[in-house]
Structure 1
Amino acid sequence: MITHDPYQVLTSWNHSFHFCDWSGNLSFLRMLSLYNNSFQGTIPHELGRLSRLHRLYLDENKFSGVIPTNLSGCSNLEVLSLGGNKLAGSIPHEMSLLSKLVGLAIHENKLTGGIPPFLGNITSMEGFSAGGNPLGGNIPDTLGHLKSLTEFYCYDCNLYGSIPNSIFNLSLLVNFSIPDNHLTGSLPLEIGNQLPNLVWLQLRNNELTGVLPPSISNCSKLRILETFDNNFSGKLTIDFSKLRDITYILLAKGNFHGRGEADDMRFIDSLKNCTKLVALDLGECNFIGVLPISIGNLSDQLSKLSLRDNQLFGNLPSSIGSLVGLTFLDLGLNQFKGKIPTTIGKLQKLQFLSLDSNQFLGPIPDAIGNLSLLNKLFLDSNKLEGKIPPSLRNCKELNGLNLAYNRLSGNIPKHLFQLPSLNYFLNFSQNRLSGSIPSDIKNLKTLSNLDLSYNNLLGNITSNLGECISLTTLNLRGNRFQGVIPSSFSSLGGLGALDISENNLSGRIPQFLERWKSLEYLNLSLNDFEGEVPVVGVFANASAFSVWGNNRLCGGLVTLELPKCKEMGIKKKRFPFFILVIVIAPTLLILLCCVYLLCKKKRNSQPSQSSGIERFLKVSYNQLLKATDGFFAANLIGEGGHSFVYKGILDSNDDKSVAVKVLHLQSRGAHKSFIAECEAWRNIRHRNLLKIITSCSSTDFHGNDFKALVYEFMPKGSVHDWLHSSAYTSKLNLLQRINILRDVATALDYLHNRCQTTIVHGDLKPSNILLDDDMVAHVGDFGLARLLGTELNQNSSSGVKGTIGYAPPEYGFGSEMTSCGDVYSFGILLLEVMTRKKPTNNMFIEGLSLHKFAYMALPDHVIDVIDNDAIVLQSTEANARKVEECLVATIKIGVSCSVDSPPQRMKIEIVVNELQRIVDMLQNI
């Protein structure tokens, strides 16, 4: 259609060529935009001929290959946008020739090779976007030459090192976004004066340290302040009243507690002028103090508020009800007390509400029923009592409800089962609910997870549960249900976990359980089931199911050690007894002779120590009585919550000393402790675990139950004795301490990662670490152990979970015991071994703990917290520096293992490697 062509540029476009093959000349082109198409292949190097091109937009396509070096021929280029493609390789050096470049966008590609320093020579640059590339390297100091730079985006670029000081001299910088990297170092105290034009400051998920500078208050245009997932510390002193345009304040996972003070939340007062605030996330910041009434003065635009996992105490102010714009409120894992204010019912836009793991008491307020848009409600792990309010029926959008670990009573209200939206979870466990399961539960056809464990529910399990066909987990454990497993359960073929243990259920194990392909965990223990245990499906894996405590079961896997089932059908004709005697007697005589000869041969061959007394050696009450001189007080060498430990000598143990642990069966939980320890020892054997010789389950001379465990005696006592007993005049040196810690870590690594079934020790502390003649450490006392995925994984609110000071904080809120909990205990153990301070020391008050005591000493003051007996003066300054390096590395391990958040704790296999490295360093000094 073009008729006027004075320069003849279209003469080559004729019918002889397809238009896709036309090689016309567009040398006067100023802008080429192919944005958001599906072009693929490499970027044509011919584009470099467009010397007059100002803007080139190739972003959001499928270009691959490298960035063409020929683009340097576009000497007038001002904007180059290549983001959202599949480009690889490094940023070519020829780009430094694009001296007029104002904007460079290469984000969301596969570029490597780091941010090249030569980019600092393009002084016209105003915007640089490279996020979402695995660039690596650091931020070049030369970028400080880009005095016109206003936007810098390098999120998720695998960057290391510190932020160069020169960056903070770019006074025109508006958006500075470098989240999701590995950047270290601190922010300059004058950042707010150096970068007064900041609108976005995004630093999340790095490794930055130091304080958040108060000068940020001077960034009056700031809208986004995002620093969560770093290591910032020190009291938060930013004056937010100057930040009137701020919309997002996201500071979670810092350590903003001011030393020796408990008013960390005073800064809330300064937020009242932030009328545009939409989100305030201050979770896991270690704030200590009360939540001020001024919380109610925050913006009515505030949609998200999280103060989760701090140390806030006192009553929750009723002024919280003024935040009528909230859709998300999380105040869980604090120490709030008193009643839940009824004003919370004014937050009618709420979709998520979590008040879990506090100390709220009294009834659940009826006003919660006003939250008609609520999706998820977490009130678990408090001290709430009374009945479940009927007003919850008004929460028509509710899809998840957790009221576990409270003191709620009465029947389960039927009206909850009229909520068609309830499809995610319903958890009423660990309460005092009574009555039966309402038949209306059949309405919850889309519910995935139901937990009614540890209540006082009784009667038959309603067959209507079989209509909840979407269930993936069902837990009815620890109630008083009776009767048989309803046949309607056969409809629940999607179940992955079923726990109906600790009830009064009876009958045979239904065949449909062995046919469920999705079932990964089944617990039928402590009931009255009878008949044969299947051996297919879930029953083919001994670690996937439990039938313990059902005395009328038979058959099943050999490892269950159940009696064989009696043969059914036609009774066989009895074989004449006298013929049996004639046949068997000579055979038995021959066998006895063989046994005698073998035993004699073994005695003459002087076997090694490891082939001596096995763990299944049988001993009686009388033998143990004699071994300990009648459990004489002078032989008492230890005492625990459920037991007394005596030193003794068994006649059958070659006169070697043993340790006899006698269970105090009148103590609550002693029976379960004995069973747990027997089961744990049956599954483990390791150099750094205490060797068990045998167990005894019998009666004493008065007919009372008697249970005991017999261990190899450890002549060097416990680590607790070496640290804290005045009877031990000599002390552990540094190398001995690190060796002991490595031994313990190695044992934990074995229990967690190298056993067929993961074993959680549950009570790691110095008194349970015993030393042999060679000062090799052995972990003992498995009375609280849990074999994950078996019947021993039994936790309840009344159950003991470790020892105060060593047990992780999550256990206090009702969490299941995990290997992460053992890692926390190990971290505290390590810090105690190195500082000789118990976690319950009187100095640890007002928020100070052994963990914080050690953390605050890192890295420059570690020598001040180490036990003096562990430090030996070195002959040279170089050696002294190496020792101090070892001390810092060791304390870092202890601190990393004992952080509050389980996922952030150091992996035990890494701990083993790090401690071995420290041992090697010390041995070379």
Structure 2
Amino acid sequence: MPKLQEFYMKGNNLTGSVPSSIGNLSSLEVLFLSENNLGGSIPQVLGRLTNLQIIALASNILSGTIPSSLLNLSSLAVFDIASNRIQGTLPVGIGFKLPNLEFFGVWQNQLDGPIPPTISNCTKLDLLQLSFNRFYGKVPSLEKLHKLRKFLFTDNQLGSGKPEDLSFLCSLTNSTKLEMVWGERNKFAGVLPKCIGNLSTTLAGFNFRENQITGEISGEIGKFVNLKYLFMGSNQLLGVIPSNLGTLQDVGILELGDNNLGGTIPTSLGNLTKLVGLDLGSNNFYGQIPSHLSNCQSLNILDLSNNHLSGAIPPQLMGLSSLTIILNLSCNHLIGVLPTEVGNLRTLTVLDISNNLLVGEIPNSLGYCTTLTSLRMGGNFFNGSIPQSIKSLRGIEELDLSHNNLSGQIPKFLAVFPFLKLLNLSYNKFEGILPCEGVFKNATNTSIIGNNELCGGLPEFHLPNCISKSSKNTKINIMILFASVISGVLGIALILAFIYLRWFKKKVNEPISSSMDDSYPKVLYGALLKATDGFSSANLIGVGSFSSVYKGILEDNGTAIAVKVLHMIRHGAMKSFIEECEALKNIKHRNLLKILTVCSGSDYQGNDFKALVYQFMDNGSLEWWLHQNATSSHGNELPKKLNFIQRINIAIDVAYALDYLHHQCHIPIVHCDLKPSNILLDAEMVAHVGDFGLVKFLVESSHDTIVNQMSSVGLRGTIGYAPPGCEVSREGDMYSYGILLLEMFTGLSPIDNTFQDNLTLHNLVAEALSKRVLEITDNVLLQERESHLGPIVLNIGFAKAMAYFKSVWLWCSILELLVRTVCLEDE
């Protein structure tokens, strides 16, 4: 058929190879053989068909390499061999030989090597699809591709981990019709160049997730008014989310999870009314969840997990009925109850609120979420029983209620859930008979450990046998008979015991006062509940591993207090409570945080309640003063900063406290967790060392070694402040003190994201001491020197002013002393 121009055989079940006789179709312009089962290689004879404009061989099982003869087809506009097994490299001269290419699709093959720089000469390219291959090296300049609409190169090995990896983006500013740049899962490093703000406003998709990109998210992205997809997750991005992202009215998916982003979640994201998916998980966001997110009425997926978010869950957000796929708020510091509005999530598939500080009962309205397949609520403080409404969740496949305060019997309906595969009820207060049907037949996928009142079940659960009703009746009869014999003796004993218990009960109900002076107020749970307005999130001033701290006002005398409430469900909380009480009962010093009393008992639900009540410190923690940002001040008030003299005084106060603990106590005490957040400042800016939950008591041996009497030997403290590879000792505290001083005078935190790999605050200062000391000096001290020079000269004279400012540089000597002695890692 020498006059045949178009040959279509798409979407059949053709097998075998492409016959070489096809090279005889001298008039052929279109060859369309996609979506078959053709194998073998691409015939070289295709290079003889000089009229060919379209070669479409996608979705077959072709192998071999791209024939060099195809470079003879100067009229070729479409070359599509996607989804095959083609190997080798792209022809080097492709841009010179195929100038009319508009569609070049080679995705999902086994091609490797670099992208030929000549590709930029294919000036008519509309789509360049290179994804799912093994291309490597630098992406060349694409400055001549003025008509390029889509550039897709995901799942390759492009980039070299160097800062200039993304420079090719600047060459795309000439592509005035650009809609998509898709480069996820490569090896790109460096920061996003500022030139991306010059990309076409037609840009609809920008995807560079799963690379090694650093730096901040450029506010230039806010210019892309037509952007619909922004994927930048799984990189190493820093800083905050630019507020102008809220102007991108057409964005449907915003994915920034698994980075090092921080700050608060901008309320402006609530303006993204077309948002379908929002992923901010695995970052360092803090503050409350913005209720404005409830304005995103199209949201299907919301992931805010693994951050430092606090406060209550906004009822408006929990009632967002558009959430149909995932709502993940796990691993934060969220408090309060689970809003009853959760019942509005009737089409939600996955709900994860695990590992927070949520309290109260599981709301009955949860039973309306009938499409749930995964419900994770473990690691909270939920109490009460599992509501009967949960039996409506018949499609549930995974249910995790572990590590709560749930009680009552395990509902029988859990045994008849047809799809339930994973069930975790461990570490609660369930009682009664364990079912033997359904998921309870599989001891591997069902966990009930830590419920000491359960009985029965399969032998694999190792629970005691349940006592039958008849056995109980027999025991009761024996006990009645026995009681009747000795009733007279017991009657007298009971009368005496009653009198004694009435006296003893009065003693027991008094709050524990760990060495606390009789002059200290005696407070009960109810008084603390009232003082903190029901432990309201508005009064929450800090959250730690084992506790939450609330500000309160005692009703009796108006005393301002800080109430440290232990999370008794957390492993190690009781140990921390005991150690802190033990440490505080025999120490008293001006520079140690003053404890008023200890409350130990039960809350109104019968759960263990333990709290330490301290004097409230008006000026908060040293960490807030050193690292507050402009947004943390109130109204138009400028952020407060510590001057040089205040820092010196605080350093001296902490030194006094350490000297007292190490050398003046009857038994030497090592603090083990010295850091700015554990140093509190009163109204006069006097420093007080607090948080004794990790202390150790020491006994000196004849060889001056230290033996721990409270807990196992090992590394304690906070990364960045704890001495590297060092067991607990006075020297360890001094190391932490040295790091603290470096932080106070440089303004740099040792746990800042700047310090990675082998770079630490200590060696940064050590390198800068000789020539670059001003570069690492806290800017506040430098500004103080400039802004106060005039007033000081006027008030105290020039000579005294110079003496004052010489003292500002005294910290350089302090740094040098620390680096050369206390902080040297080899000493």
TM range (shorter): 0.5 to 0.7
CA–CA distance in structure 2, aligned partners of residues 282 and 345 of structure 1: 22
Residues 1:481 and 2:382 aligned together: no
Whole-Å Cα distance in 1 between the matches of residues 225 and 725 of structure 2? Answer: 44
Which amino acid letter does the alignment assign opposite residue 129 of structure 2? Y
Q: Which amino acid aligns with 1:179?
A: T
On the 8 A contact 2:53/2:77 being kept in 1, the answer is yes
Q: Decide whether aligned partners of structure 1 residues 87 and 404 sit closer, same or farther in structure 2, where only a CA change above 3 A counts.
A: same
Secondary structure at 1:62 match in 2: coil
TM-aligned CA distance change 1:802 to 1:159, over 3 Å = farther
In structure 2, C-alpha distance between the alignment counterparts of 1:36 and 1:828, rounded to whole Å:
68
Specify the code of the residue in structure 1 equivalent to 2:181. Answer: L
Aligned to 1:228: 209
Q: Indicate if the aligned counterparts of 1:239 and 1:270 stay in contact, CA closer than 8 A.
A: no
- After superposition, the C-alpha distances for 1:745-777 in whole angstroms (9 at most, x for unaligned) are xxxxxxxxxxxxxxxxxxxxxxxxxxxxxxxxx
Judging changes above 3 Å, is the alpha-carbon distance between structure 1 residues 801 and 97 closer, same or farther for their aligned structure 2 residues? farther
Partner residue of 1:41 out of 16, 26, 50:
16
SS of residue paired to 2:213: coil
Displacement of 1:77 in angstroms is 0.6
Per-residue CA distance 1:473-525 (angstroms, 9 max, x = gap): 00001111343x33xx49xxxxxxx6x47xx63599xxxxxxxxxxxxxxxxx
- Per the TM alignment, residue 245 of structure 1 is displaced from its structure 2 partner at its CA by 2.1
Cα distance change on mapping 1:51 and 1:847 into 2, 3 Å: farther
| Alpha-carbon spacing, 1:178–1:438, altered in 2? closer, same or farther (3 Å) | same
Distance 1:36 1:827 in 2: 65
Q: TM-score, normalised by structure 2?
A: 0.57
Match of 1:439 in 2: 412
Out of 430, 434, 446, the residue aligned to residue 461 of structure 1 is 434
Equivalent position to 1:141, from 117, 126, 137: 117
Shift of 1:417: 2.3
Q: Which of residues 63, 66, 69 is equivalent to 2:44? A: 69
- One of 182, 196, 203 as aligned partner of 2:183: 203
Distance 2:48 2:726 in 1: 63
2:245 pairs with 1:270: yes
Pairwise CA distance, 1:385: 0.5
The CA distance in 2 between the partners of 1:40 and 1:801, in whole Å, is 67
Map residues 602-641 of structure 1 onto 2, 5 A cutoff: none
For residues 425 and 192 of structure 1, do their structure 2 counterparts lie closer, same or farther at Cα, with a shift above 3 Å needed? same
Q: Find the aligned partners of 1:251 and 1:215 in 2 and give their Cα distance.
A: 17
Q: How far is the alpha carbon of 1:865 from its aligned partner?
A: 5.2
Q: Distance in 2 between matches of 1:433 and 1:328?
A: 29
- SS of residue matched to 2:181: strand
- Aligned to 2:262, which of 274, 288, 292? 288
The verdict on how the C-alpha distance between 1:176 and 1:840 changes in structure 2, with shifts beyond 3 A counting, is farther
1:90 aligns with 2:65: yes
Question: Which residue matches 2:544?
Answer: none
Match of residue 379 from structure 1: 353
Q: Tell me if the contact between 1:115 and 1:135 (Cα under 8 Å) persists in the aligned partners.
A: yes
What is the match of residue 852 of structure 1? 753
Once the two structures are TM-superposed, the CA of residue 229 in structure 1 deviates from its matched residue by 0.3
Q: In the comparison of the two structures, how many residue pairs are matched?
A: 513
Question: SS state of the match for residue 383, structure 2?
Answer: strand
Q: Does 1:162 align with 2:138?
A: yes
Residues 157 and 181, structure 1, Cα contact 8 Å, conserved in 2: yes
User: 1:439 is matched by which residue type in structure 2?
Assistant: K
Q: 1:110 aligns with which of 85, 91, 105?
A: 85
CA distance in 1, matches of 2:84, 2:743: 51
Is the partner of 2:415 in helix, strand or coil?
A: helix
Residue among 310, 315, 338 paired with 1:337: 310
Indicate yes or no: 2:276 matched with 1:303: yes
Give 2:94's aligned residue: 119
Instruction: Report the more deviating stretch, 454-463 or 393-402.
Output: 454-463
SS at match of 2:268: helix
User: Equivalents in 2 of 1:58, 1:801: separation in Å?
Assistant: 68
Distance 1:233 1:827 in 2: 30
Deviation at 1:294, TM superposition (A): 1.2
Aligned to 1:11: none
The answer to whether residue 408 in structure 2 is matched with residue 430 in structure 1 is: no
Q: What secondary structure sits across from 1:325 in the alignment?
A: coil
**Aligned pair partner of 1:356 in 307, 312, 330:** 330
Q: Give secondary structure in 2 for the equivalent of 1:42.
A: coil
Shift of 1:40: 1.2
The correspondence of residues 260-659 of structure 1 with structure 2, limited to 5 A, is: 264-265=240-241, 267-272=242-247, 274-299=248-273, 301-351=274-324, 352-422=326-396, 424-463=397-436, 465-466=437-438, 473-483=445-455, 485-486=456-457, 489=458, 500=461, 505=464
Distance 1:462 1:87, change over 3 A: closer
**CA distance in 2 between partners of 1:168 and 1:866 (Å):** 44
Q: Name the SS of the counterpart of 1:186 in structure 2.
A: helix
> Could you tell me whether the CA contact under 8 Å between 2:238 and 2:262 is conserved in 1?
yes
**Percent of aligned pairs with the same amino acid:** 27
How far apart are 1:408 and its partner, in Å? Answer: 1.0
- In structure 2, the residue matched to 1:247 is 228
Task: Answer yes or no: is the 8 Å Cα contact 2:208–2:231 preserved in 1.
Answer: yes
- The 2-side partners of 1:374 and 1:435 are apart by 28
1:784 positional shift: 12
Q: Which amino acid aligns with 2:382?
A: L
2-structure distance, mates of 1:108, 1:189? 27
| Alignment check: 8 A CA contact 1:446 1:471 kept | no
CA contact (8 A) 2:139 2:168 kept: no
In structure 1, the residue corresponding to 2:166 is in which secondary structure? coil
Paired amino acid for 2:379: Y
Task: Measure, in 1, the Cα distance between the counterparts of 2:299 and 2:725.
Answer: 39
1:757-811 C-alpha deviation (Å, 9 max, x unpaired): xxxxxxxxxxxxxxxxxxxxxxxx9x999xxxxxxxxxxxxxx99855469xxxx
Q: Is the 8 A contact 1:50 1:73 kept in 2?
A: no
Q: Deviations over 1:104-158 (max 9, x none)?
A: 1111111111112122221111211001011111111121221222210010111
What are the Cα deviations for residues 328-374 of structure 1, in whole angstroms up to 9, with x where unaligned? 11111111100000101341021211100010001011111111111
Is this contact kept in 2: 1:307–1:331, CA < 8 A? yes
User: Which whole-Å CA distance do the structure 1 matches of 2:725 and 2:320 have between them?
Assistant: 42
Are 1:213 and 2:193 an aligned pair? yes
User: Relative to 1, partners in 2 of residues 1:280 and 1:144: Cα closer, same or farther, differing over 3 Å?
Assistant: same
Q: 1:160 to 1:862 in 2, by over 3 A?
A: farther
SS of 2:16's equivalent? Answer: strand
1:50 to 12, 25, 29: 25
The 1-side partners of 2:46 and 2:748 are apart by 60
Which of 78, 82, 96 is the aligned partner of 2:53? 78
Q: Give the direction of change, closer, same or farther, for the CA distance of 1:856–1:235 in structure 2 (3 Å limit).
A: farther
Listed as ranges, the gaps of 5+ residues in structure 2 are 160-164, 468-571, 577-707, 728-733, 768-827
Query: What is the distance in 2 between the residues matched to 1:377 and 1:461?
Result: 26
- 3-state SS of 2:270 partner: helix
Q: Take 1:297 and 1:192, find their aligned partners in 2: how far apart are those partners?
A: 29
Letter in 2 for 1:85: N
Going from structure 1 to structure 2, the CA distance change for 1:418 and 1:126 (only over 3 Å counts) comes to closer
Question: Residues 392 and 118 of structure 1: is their aligned pair in 2 closer, same or farther, counting only changes over 3 Å?
Answer: same
How far apart in 2 are the matches of 1:182 and 1:133?
14
CA contact under 8 A between 2:31 and 2:56: conserved in structure 1? yes
C-alpha distance in 2 between matches for 1:459 and 1:475: 16
Structure 1: runs of 5 or more not aligned: 1-25, 259-263, 491-497, 509-664, 670-780, 786-799, 808-824, 830-835, 869-925
Q: CA deviation at 1:271?
A: 3.1
Q: Deviation at 1:215?
A: 3.2
CA distance in 1, matches of 2:735, 2:192: 32
Aligned runs of 1:6-17 on 2, under 5 Å?
none
Work out whether residues 446 and 469 of structure 1, in 8 Å CA contact, stay in contact via their aligned partners in 2: no
Distance 1:229 1:849, change over 3 A: farther
Shift of 1:840: 11
